A and B are shown apart, each in its own frame.
Chain A
């Protein structure tokens, strides 16, 4: 449906997109995740045709989009700023696209009513945009982008500026909407939860490059770079060096001893890398040993999150390891006491690169130096 090849975009001397290539299949819910300034919005505007690019190719529905103006593309874009027409009522805002397509009055009225119902804003037709709350404006922007029934709907940070409760509700709504319309959605966000929950495919971006593309589960469990691993969730990272391989299991030598990890691909002995394990896989063990990685750590401090408690353990005074302990279990832990921590090697990840951006030192990236 969308194919991007070696896309390059400069803002004066600043490189915003550095030769990125990816494909979005028809009917896919494609989520682009990355920190602000990573090029998400630039990418969306280039796809929509409102921004020029320096080189590369963009295909939508098999057609090269070079020189095709926005109003002749099979897309619709919901802006991060919503970009609602301030001088028009809600009805006229939504009807605008249909009027431009030359639809007749009855059709427009029916469609606008339908889409307002879909976003839960029936009866708001004659309101001015200034009389709407943030959430209502957001839904108006969505309705306006949806009503033209685009084969590809681009959504630029559509729910990032809403409060948490509303975000959760809108995430469900987007999922339902995607099923209902069967269209191709490209959605950007900087929130990991939105990416992992909504996406069929996630693309992690960083400073104009793609860190990793894959299914949410792949990126969460088998991240390729430190950046990708961190952006989709919290992770313990310990710098180390590959010592040997035992079947599928790599032995990694770190400051706190040898750790095991299951990994695909070939890593040479002596390869410098980061050993990663997500906090929810690190368990505080009882006496019986059940995991193939085990450490002793002193319970140093904790952060309470309600459904779990993030406990931080000090390992030999050298490394801190986080563990997401279920609240029920955490009440038994005492600060200052030593506990046995364990996790399975198939939940760990070996990260060779800090980022796909060259020239970064992995230890500096991990410790934020």
Chain B
């Protein structure tokens, strides 16, 4: 009896997990096979929801938009984040400076999501900060249209997700013994080989981990595209459209398709690299 009491500690987490993740997912999975009747559904099982979704002419565009924007964002975050994480770990020696940088990275997250979204108007708008800077510097003669274009989506996503890329990278790089880098230099490796064969490859678990964070974060976000991307259609948006019309079976089927596609992408990423290396060894 005593042996089992320790599992009691797991209970609150487990209950939350079951009620708020497993159960809704199960309901969604079942719902996706029900027959839609407006407004509502009949419990006759059918594959029609999936067939309709996958064969619709828009599906390809939706899927392409969804995955390309997320993957490109994750990729941009990786390109920007890696040099940052590298400098943060190896070049900045003062603990104080590091703390300030961490604070600056975290600062935007202290602001409410809604306000942060609206704030983009004053930054990227036609009379916003960026345009006024460019105009007064004489770099452009007319304001650039950032908002309501895919460019705005990338800028906003990169800004909000960069942190999730940098943290796991820092974790991976911080575990690296600087003498290993010196050893590679002594073993006749020119600088670019030191970077690729040693620094990058050893940081790969962190890079992939950050990539997954950003990918999952952006692919599940349909609000930002609907607000700022100027009518760019994504799978998430279509699911939300169905849901707002109470077409639950169609919405569920869309959700399941997105979920399965995500799992496939994550599976491939995790095959590439052993993410456990980030924590163990």
Contact = CB atoms under 8 A, between A and B. Distances in A.
Contacts of B182: 45, 48, 50, 70, 77, 79, 83
Given A71-B189, A96-B189, A100-B190, A83 B183 contact: yes
B44 interface: no
B180 interface: yes
Contacts of B110: none
B187 interface: yes
A97 B198 contact: no
B145 interface: no
Contacts of A49: 185-186
B201 A100 contact: no
B185 A71 contact: yes
Contacts of A96: 184, 187, 189, 197
Interface in A62-104: 69-71, 75-77, 79, 81, 83-87, 96-97, 100-101
B186 A85 contact: no
Nearest to A95: B187
B280 to A, nearest CB: 9
A304 interface: no
Interface bin, chain B: 20 to 34
Contacts of B190: 71, 100
Contacts of B188: 71, 97, 100-101, 148
A22 interface: no
A83 B179 contact: yes
Contacts of A87: 201-202, 204, 277
Contacts, number: 66
A84 B202 CA distance: 12
B182 to A, nearest CB: 4
Contacts of B189: 71, 96, 100
Contact of B185 (A69, A81, A86, A144): A69
A183 B218 CA distance: 58
B177 interface: yes
A79 B198 CA distance: 16
A144 B281 contact: no
A79 B179 contact: yes
B208 to A, nearest CB: 13
A71 B195 CA distance: 14
User: Quick one: which of A75, A76, A87, A97 has the most chain B CB within 10 A?
Assistant: A87
Contact of B186 (A76, A81, A86, A130): A76
User: Quick one: which of A76, A85, A101, A148 has the most chain B CB within 10 A?
Assistant: A85
A100 B183 contact: no
Given A71-B189, A96-B189, A96-B197, 10 more contacts: A48-B186, A49-B185, A50-B186, A70-B182, A77-B182, A79-B179, A83-B177, A85-B180, A85-B183, A86-B180
User: What are the 3 tightest A-B residue pairs by CB atom distance, in nearest-first order?
Assistant: A97-B187, A83-B183, A70-B185
Interface of B: 177, 179-180, 182-191, 193, 197-198, 201-202, 204, 277, 281
19 contacts: A50-B186, A70-B185, A71-B187, A76-B186, A77-B182, A77-B183, A79-B179, A81-B179, A83-B177, A83-B183, A85-B184, A85-B202, A86-B180, A87-B202, A96-B189, A97-B187, A97-B188, A100-B193, A101-B188
